[in-house]
Structure formats: C-alpha cells, structure tokens
Structure 1
Amino acid sequence: MPPFDLPEGDPFGTHNLPYGVFSLPGSDSARRVGVRLGDHVLDAGRAAYALGSPYAPLLAQDSLNPLLAAGRTTWSDVRRALTAWVTVPAHQEAIADLLHPLSSVTLHLPFEVADYVDFYASENHARNVGQIFRPDAADSLTPNWKHLPIGYHGRSGTIVVSGTDVVRPSGQRKAPTDPAPVFGPSVRLDIEAEVGFVVGTPSEMGRPVALGDFREHVFGLCLLNDWSARDVQAWEYVPLGPFLGKSFATSVSAWITPLDALEEARVAAPERTHPLLPYLDDSAAEAEPGGYDLRISVAVNGHVVSEPPFSTMYWTAAQQLAHMTVNGASLRTGDLYGSGTVSGPTERERGSLLELTWNGRDPLELPDGKRTFLEDGDVVTLSAWAPGPGGVRVGLGEVTGQVVAGS
C-alpha cells in the first residue's frame, strides 16, 4: 500500500500538498491533476469522484486552470478536503489505488500560461549587474529602481516544464571591439534563479489590483529558471529591453505550491530606503508580511554553486502584482510573473552565472572543469524549500533543464 504514514519531516507531507499535472504510461495516458504526497502522486480527480466530493468537476481536468479560476474560497476548501483524504483513515482504502509512484508517471506543464511578466526585484542582483556594466557610475542602481518594480513582458509560448531540454539559441551579437554584429549560437548562455507566481482569479480591465488583494488573485508559486543569452541581450536591449535574449525558453517546476502551504514562511520585506507612492507602500502597521523565506539551491551538473535566499528580495510579489496592474492592465487566469533573479549579499548567494563569474572574469571551478557560461550538455537544477509548521520543511520541488546544441 502507498505510504500514508510518511517519514517524519518529509518535505512533501500532508502540510504541503502541491499541485501538478501528470499522465500514466500506456493506454491510460490522459493528463490529469495530481497532488504530491511524499514520493507518490494522488490522482485528485478520481479521488474526488471516489469520495463523492463536490470538487470533482474542478479536479478531474487535464490542467489546473479550472481550479485556478475558482477563487480563493474554493482553493482553501479544496485544500481542506485533500488534507482530509490523505489523513483520515476512513478515506485511505478508497484512494489507495489512486496513489502512483512518481517514478512511474510523466509530469507536464501544470497550467496553461496566459501572460508572462518578469521582474528585476533583487537589490543585490541589480547592484551586481550595475557594477559589472557601469563600474564608473556613482550609483550602481538606475534612478528608478527604488521607486518601482522594473519588469518586462515575456513570451508565454516558450515556458516549459522541468526536464525539457533547452536548445542553445542563436541571434545577433556584437562585442564592443567588433566592427559589426555577427549571427550565430549564443556563447554566453546563462541562468537566472527565480520564483514564479501563478495567478488564479482574473481582474477587470481598468481596475488596478491593490496590495492587500494579492492573496485573492495569486494561487501559488513555483520555481523558475529564466534562461538568458547574455551576448544577444547586450546587443539588442537598448533602448527597449529584453527580447530574443530571453524569449527562447523559460523553465518552471512541475509542482505549484499553494500560498496556503507557506504561512510559516511569510516574513517582512527588507527595510525601505526611499518613500513609496501609496499604491506600493507596504509600511503600514496593519500590512501583512509581503516576503517569503524560500531557500534556493542552484546546481550545475549536480554540483551546487549557489544558494540564493528569497527573503532578501526588495520588491515583494504583492508589490509586483500591484505595479503591473496599476495602469489598468487586467489579470487572466494562468498569468505567470517571475520575481527576477534571486541574489543574496554574498558571493555564494548569487543567482546567475553573470554574477557568479563576474561576467566571465572569475570562472567557476566545477568537478568537470571550469565554467564562465553554460556549455552544451550542462544540466542546471534549481531546488528549494521553505520553513513549515513545527519546524518541518515545505519542499518546492525542482526545475531542471539540459542545454543542447542548436540545429
């Protein structure tokens, strides 16, 4: 029988229950909503029907989008029901055959992505980038950085689930000393360790989403790797910002952790150094904590190279949501927005190779050789956990991608 009694401290225990979409091998290969329990996945839709749950129509789907659209009250109700199904002994016989070993299933992109936005919210990352590219500037931050969360709109069609190969992109690049641009595969392929936030409840066009309404609209979070072709990006980004250097692939983890599983991980945002306009001001005493204590690990070919702390992010997910709708832009179910590169204050906490190698000046020493940027065949894995109830960890899964040569 699958293990209802998990080992003590299992990061994917009943306190977590993240959502994903999976399929079984063979003729019964339809995609279905699953909930992770230890090293198994529960077929949530069939469990709901087996137990006569009113939420069966939401869970017996091939995507999380219907559940995402149902709203916060339903999210909480479904979570309570799922918790009962896997903890109450009377239910276990009915669902025992609906728990499948993770090793036997295929995981898919868990939701249909609507719009995609990526931010630039880590002060440590922004300062590092400023020092690399503007070493003589009086301030390594741009003048607007402390006043608004900087971001850009990305390409939702190239968001892929963990395990999908990443084809090395080609594009124009031009070194400062080159007389003209050349075309070819990127030679400065990088990663960015990020957290993605998944929107459930949509909003009306023309009506901004307030800071305090963050939890009414955002269902949960996932890990995100914003692959970046630094040489393509450097040549194209003036004056409009990231384009082809970012749009070729963005990888996300297969599991979406609901915000309700992360109550113990909520922390105050860092101290604000500049006054904020009212729609971004989270300094009021009654404001809920806007940050999350997430511990991220970055590994290249199985070797950990960095451990960025998400708790240091200057701009919170609630502020990012408020800013990207303040002009009246609407939210759609399945919208995804990335936090921007997560970097801490020390060298061991930098969330990109650009920073870790200081733009290639200081190569990383890996067991299989030195790296400045990624080589074909390299495998990058982001994993993370957050503090949970009673000191147990909440596992956030992982997002993995292997670089393969372009055609």
Structure 2
Amino acid sequence: MSQIFPRSWVASANGHPDFPLQNLAHGVFSRGDLGPRGGVAIGEMIFDLQAALAHDLFTDEARTAAEAAGADHLNGFFALGAAHRQALRRELLALFDEASPHFERLLALSPALLHPMGECRMHLPAQVGDYTDFYVGIHHATNVGKLFRPDNPLLPNYKYVPIGYHGRASTLRPSGTEVKRPFGQTLAPGREVPDFGPCKRLDYELEMGVWIGPGNPDGQPIVIGEAASHIAGFCLLNDWSARDLQAWEYQPLGPFLSKSFATTLSAWVVTPEALAPFRRAQPPRPDGDPQPLPYLFDAADQEGGALDIELEVLLQTEQMRAKDLPPQRLSLSNTLNMYWTAAQLVAHHSVNGCVLQPGDLFGTGTLSGPQAGQHGSLLEMTEGGKQVVELASGESRRFLEHGDEVILRARCKGDGQVSIGFGECRGRIVG
C-alpha cells in the first residue's frame, strides 16, 4: 500500500520538483526594500522568517533557531547544530501542513509571510571563512589521470587520503552570477616560454557543496563517529576551471589562478533531515582496495553515510537562446560516485587539529560516473579537447565559449518517497 504524505496549504508546494513540504531548504533573499534576510523555500514561495517571528509563530528552541536562520547570513544558524535545526523543522512542518490548526490565521498573514521566488534576489547563504575543494569523485580522478598517466591514472595516496586543496572563498558566487573568462599564463604545445592572455579551455565541474555547522576547538579533531553532526546542509557547486592555465601552473603545488576566479553555488541549503530518506550505504570498495584507516572508518557511516542524489548538467548557448531552444543535457551522474563520504571529509580535514568554523564550505570534487554520458566536466567528455561535443543547435564544443550558460540540477528520488531538489546552479560565461 502506497504511503500518504502530508500536503501543504501553500498550493505550489504540492508536487513541486524541488521544494515540496518535505524539503524546507534554507537560504538568504531580498525583495524590494527588504534587505537580505533568511527564508525557507516552500513551492514557488519564500517564507520570511523575520516576518514569522514578528507574528510570534515559533516557540522555545525553534524560536532561537528561527532568529538565527532569519538573519542576513546563516552562520549563526549553522552553529546551533542539529537539535535546534530539527526543532525549527518540526514547527515549520506543522505550520505549512494543510491540516494545521492555525491555517486560517496563516492564510490571512500569507501576504506578509510569503514572497514569490520570482520577485526575490538570492544571496550566498553564509559568510564563508574557508573553502576547501576535495577530489572524491573516483571516476573523474581516473579519467583525468588517464589523460596524463595512461598506465597509472591514480596516484598511490588516492585510496588512502581524501585529496583536497584550499580554495578561494572571496570568489564564491550565488547561482545566476555571470562568470568572467579569466586571464593568466599558458604554455602552448611546442613552446618553451608561456604567453599571457584569456583562457581558451574554460570548463565546468559538477560538484556538491557541504556546509559546515558546529566547528571544533583548536587542536581537537572531529572523530569520524561524530563528523556527520558537524554538517549543516548541502548545495550544488560548479568549480569553474581554466584548464590551460591549470596545465601550466599545477606542478608542483596544484591549482591556483585556474580555480580561484569563480565558483558558483546553488542558493538553497538542503538540510540533513530533508535528505534522511535518501541515505544509502557507502558503495563497497573494489576488491583489492585498502580499507580506510581507523580514524576514517565508522560502521554507521559506512551503512548510511552516502547520499543518493541524481546530478544533471545542462548547457544553453547564445544560439540556442536565439532559436528558443531549451538547454541540452550533457551528462547525468549521482553522488553515489563519491569514493569518500561527507563525514570522512570532515574527519580528515580536522584530524591534524585544523579548526573548522560554521559556514565553512567543502566542495566534493567532480562527481562523474563510470559510463559515457556521466562525465562531470568537458575535459573528460572531450578527452582533453581531442573530441567534440555535438549540440542539437548544430554547434559543437570542446570547451566553453562566450555566452554559454551551464546549469546544474540535482534531484533526490526514492521508492515511496516525495522527490526533493536543490534549485538550479547557473552561470553564464561573459568575455
């Protein structure tokens, strides 16, 4: 017998592909004269937490959480941790339920409480102190490694250590922000001296973002069994990459200008509670792969620390827009392609005593699948630019060109579950 799920009196939430009642993602928005403030996505509307507080709609822990989540950034909300977040979610679920005993009052207040998403501007959810980009998509790592080391694509440390590097928090941008083509040094084939100029091999990377909640004291690692409780939520992330700059600069210390010019985030934070129905066992490692070292291994994390999220990349060119053609799907992947869980990333990042703080952001690294049609970057799809991607408009691409807009989407699906999503992560190339 099929399960019956609660419905909302906010009509657009019922059957919404991203923001039904079961999601309740958090973000920061502004509208007209209303400055940036925290809100909750419900269907095609944003629930204004400051307005709800003014009408005394929350109690106890939920009120404390709403005060933090209603601010112009969510760092304070993230810092409160799971108990406050869950208390607020319970009261939001009760408020939005079509069977709410407060339905008539809420409906009367709805012009003050609810803002149409299409009339709002979204901002970064948090003030990001530090941003770390990991490399946990093993199929991406293998595909890229084959381009440079066909006989040995993965270096020995990959299956022991969650590989990562420090990113640049100052150029994190919310979905919809234009992306300027970066300049830098490149070394052309056959040349001994580099040139300076605009990037010619601009690429995207399909990633998830992991928002950090409560941090850790200086010098005190977060143990793997507690690491999941330090995660406040998830988003989509596009780590734009200048492949020609990267090829010249990355040895011996890794990416620098090729990554630091722009990173685009989806605007909504989807909480661990919303994602609970889509938890899965971490996929077993192939025969012969080493088990994680003890500080990275927790039985409960292995049994339910992975997420089943379908990831999609679409591209719309200037010519497509001129011809009124829809965006074209380039690939479809899944977060189950992560070699390490999000909790393992938290445990590893802090194991040396490094301090994580509320609002810090992790990128997972590019999450490609093992098959054609599942690649999370053009570098893989075109085999380093050797092949072309044919588009329905009659165009072709090796790398991104002026006016190209990359759109990332994510969807959680499951038997007997209401599907939820993340909203889009969009960026258009200019210059």
Q: TM-score, normalised to structure 1's length?
A: 0.94
Q: Which moved more, 1:39-48 or 1:290-299?
A: 39-48
* Counterpart for residue 319 of structure 2: none
Percent identity over paired residues? 46
- Name the SS for the 1:348 alignment partner: coil
Confirm or deny: 8 A CA contact 2:202 2:243 kept in the other structure. Answer: yes
CA-to-aligned-CA distance 1:306-342 (integer Å, 9 cap, x gap): 0111112111111111111111101111100000000
Letter paired with 2:263: T
Structure 1 stretches of 4+ moved >4 Å:
285-288
Alpha-carbon distance in 2 for matches of 1:106, 1:115: 24
Q: 2:134 aligns with which of 104, 113, 119?
A: 119
Letter paired with 2:89: R
Mapping of 1:3-402 within 5 angstroms? 4-6=10-12, 8-11=14-17, 12-25=19-32, 28-53=33-58, 54-55=63-64, 56-87=66-97, 88-91=100-103, 92-93=106-107, 95-97=109-111, 98-135=113-150, 137=151, 139-272=152-285, 273-282=289-298, 284=299, 288-301=303-316, 302-368=327-393, 369-387=395-413, 390-402=416-428
Letter paired with 1:154: G
Aligned residues: 399
CA-to-aligned-CA distance 1:114-160 (integer Å, 9 cap, x gap): 1100011011111101111112x2x3111101111100000001000
Post-superposition offset of 1:265? 1.0
Residues 286 and 93 (structure 1 numbering): CA distance in 2 closer, same or farther, change over 3 Å? closer
- Name the SS for the 1:183 alignment partner: strand
- Name the SS for the 2:424 alignment partner: strand
Structure 1: which 5+ runs fail to align? none
Alpha-carbon distance in 2 for matches of 1:286, 1:199: 17
Alpha-carbon distance in 2 for matches of 1:95, 1:268: 43
Post-superposition offset of 1:176? 3.6
Residues 285 and 18 (structure 1 numbering): CA distance in 2 closer, same or farther, change over 3 Å? closer
What is the root-mean-square deviation of aligned Cα atoms in Å?
1.6
- Name the SS for the 2:22 alignment partner: coil
Post-superposition offset of 1:79? 1.1
Confirm or deny: 8 A CA contact 1:18 1:256 kept in the other structure. Answer: yes
CA-to-aligned-CA distance 1:62-119 (integer Å, 9 cap, x gap): 1111211112111111111111221124142354121111111111111111110001
Alpha-carbon distance in 1 for matches of 2:407, 2:23: 21
Confirm or deny: 8 A CA contact 2:389 2:396 kept in the other structure. Answer: yes
Post-superposition offset of 1:9? 3.0
Post-superposition offset of 1:200? 1.4
Confirm or deny: 8 A CA contact 2:11 2:43 kept in the other structure. Answer: no
Q: Which moved more, 1:316-325 or 1:382-391?
A: 382-391
Confirm or deny: 8 A CA contact 2:39 2:70 kept in the other structure. Answer: no
* Counterpart for residue 322 of structure 2: none
- Name the SS for the 2:259 alignment partner: coil
Post-superposition offset of 1:191? 0.4
Confirm or deny: 8 A CA contact 1:264 1:389 kept in the other structure. Answer: no
Letter paired with 1:292: L
Q: Which moved more, 1:205-214 or 1:221-230?
A: 205-214
Alpha-carbon distance in 1 for matches of 2:15, 2:27: 21
Alpha-carbon distance in 2 for matches of 1:69, 1:389: 33
- Name the SS for the 1:238 alignment partner: coil
- Name the SS for the 1:213 alignment partner: helix
Alpha-carbon distance in 2 for matches of 1:51, 1:389: 38
Structure 2: which 5+ runs fail to align? 1-7, 317-326
Q: Which moved more, 1:364-373 or 1:239-248?
A: 364-373
Q: TM-score, normalised to structure 2's length?
A: 0.89
CA-to-aligned-CA distance 1:173-231 (integer Å, 9 cap, x gap): 10341121000000000000000000111111111111121232111000000000001
Residues 20 and 7 (structure 1 numbering): CA distance in 2 closer, same or farther, change over 3 Å? closer
Letter paired with 1:315: W
- Name the SS for the 1:77 alignment partner: helix
Post-superposition offset of 1:46? 1.2
- Name the SS for the 1:324 alignment partner: helix
Q: Which moved more, 1:284-293 or 1:377-386?
A: 284-293
